[in-house]
Amino acid sequence: METNVDNEGLINKDFSEDLAPFMLTKCPVTLTNLIIGGKWKPVIIHNVSRGINRFGELQRAMPGVSKKMLTQELRDLEHNGILNRKIYAEIPPRVEYSLTDWGRATLPILQSMAHFGFAYADKLGLKPA
Amino acid sequence: METNVDNEGLINKDFSEDLAPFMLTKCPVTLTNLIIGGKWKPVIIHNVSRGINRFGELQRAMPGVSKKMLTQELRDLEHNGILNRKIYAEIPPRVEYSLTDWGRATLPILQSMAHFGFAYADKLGLKPA
DNA sequence: CAGTATCCACAATGATACTG
DNA sequence: CAGTATCATTGTGGATACTG
């Protein structure tokens, strides 16, 4: 609320609270978890990387997510420099999300997660998509 | 729960509830997230892979974690076939955790997370461990 | 040492209604 | 279309005390 130092327009969030777990441990894995962890963030990134980049599309592509959660997670990713948000001044309004360079830098993580998930689903006798 | 033999890789939990988000989406990334996601699981795996494999050691290596959370996360990982738990019938009691084959299969994910975390910490002007 | 058990504060999330 | 705002509910996690 009070102190908002916008240095470069890229990351303008106050991290002193958000990044507390990382500050405590200095563990890079913990930091990554804070940025792209959680229930929906990896799936959002995965979908945006596949070209599913509009709010409604994402919501349909992610069964179970609520508008509120989707909005919130999209904002987090945007504020942390993972996603771009482009607003087209049209009617009806159109918004498109895309990966930033840092967003693309997370894709190897997503890929190894997908690789493991496929194998693990198979182990469980389940069929992934 | 008596002195049960190590049943490596055996999954004896009822997943119908736990895996609901995956059942809904069939997304392998979501599945991986359910197995090794969350605040502490990646760090536990990372530490165990480095030889930090006893309860007390892990607790000291993970500032901020409570006994309750550590126990809970260790149990999840064990039940999902990521960790082995070996109990030595000694006094004082000794328990050692180790990675299963499936646990080792998650290490590429952890590595790419660490790689990203290092770079991202640098971007933030912070020093990782 | 390596946990369990219980209680509870508060954060996280869902449902619903409304808006530019 | 792409969100906000608000309230209700659920869940996560911390503190504390106890145990084989």
Decide if pLDDT at B4 tops 50: no
B27:A15 CB<8 A? no
For chain B, positions 27-66, list CB contacts with chain A under 8 A.
Answer: 27-33, 35, 37-39, 42-43, 46, 62-64
For residue B71, give the amino acid letter.
Answer: T
Q: What was the pLDDT predicted at B17?
A: 55
Measured in residues, chain A has a length of: 129
Buried b (16+ CB within 10 A) or exposed e, A53-64: bebeebeebbee
Q: What was the pLDDT predicted at A129?
A: 79
What percentage of chain B exceeds 90 in pLDDT? 71
Predicted confidence (pLDDT) per residue in A72-119, tens digit: 999 999 999 999 999 998 888 999 999 999 999 999 999 999 999 999
Work out the average pLDDT over B9-19.
53
pTM: 0.87
**Strand, coil or helix: what is B83?**
strand
Which has the higher per-residue pLDDT, A1 or A55? Answer: A55
List the B37 CA – C11 C1' distance (angstroms): 18
The verdict on A107 touching B (C-beta cutoff 8 Å) is no
**Strand, coil or helix: what is B35?**
helix
Domains and CATH numbers, chain B: 2-124 (1.10.10.10)
For chain B, positions 63-102, list CB contacts with chain A under 8 A.
Answer: 63-64, 81, 102
Predicted confidence (pLDDT) per residue in B28-74, tens digit: 999 999 999 988 999 999 999 999 999 999 999 999 999 999 999 99
SS3 content of chain A, % helix, strand, coil (to 5): 55, 10, 35
